[in-house]
Amino acid sequence: MEKGGIIKHNIDKAPKTGDWRYMKPQVDASKCIGCKTCVPHCPEGVMEMRARKIEEIEISNKIGKEKELVDIDFEYCKGCGVCAQVCPVKAINMKK
């Protein structure tokens, strides 16, 4: 590899973390405002935005159904907690 080269993340070659991850991020649908701040900060690239399910709209009627909710692929999330740190409204809590 050249000096200063960029290693691109390839989710297909990433190790699955579901068995050994210690902490797990939990998204509070009533708090997430769909700002997407957490998505580019995730070092594993396992966060993406998705439409809200009906029950998630009901518990967050202040936020509005047009606001997307962040979704996490727990097969590859390593539980680092970066997403919880950067969320401006503290919608992600790290749980064991």
Interface contacts to ligand SF4, rule CB under 6 A: 25, 27, 32-38, 42, 44, 46-47, 70, 72, 77-83, 87, 89, 91-92
How do 47-50 and 92-95 pair as beta strands? unpaired
Q: To the nearest whole angstrom, how small is the minimum distance from the Cβ of residue 1 to ligand SF4?
A: 24
Q: To the nearest whole angstrom, how small is the minimum distance from the Cβ of residue 4 to ligand SF4?
A: 25
Q: To the nearest whole angstrom, how small is the minimum distance from the Cβ of residue 61 to ligand SF4?
A: 16
Lookup: tokens for 76: 């590859």
- Our CB check for ligand SF4 shows the closer of 57 and 78 to be 78
Contact 37, 6 (CB under 8 A): no
- Our CB check for ligand SF4 shows the closer of 5 and 88 to be 88
- Our CB check for ligand SF4 shows the closer of 3 and 62 to be 62
Q: To the nearest whole angstrom, how small is the minimum distance from the Cβ of residue 76 to ligand SF4?
A: 7
Alpha-carbon distances, residue 78 vs 18, 22, 35, 45, 51 (angstroms): 8, 8, 22, 11, 24
Count CB neighbours of 60 within 10 A.
20
CA distance 18 to 73: 9
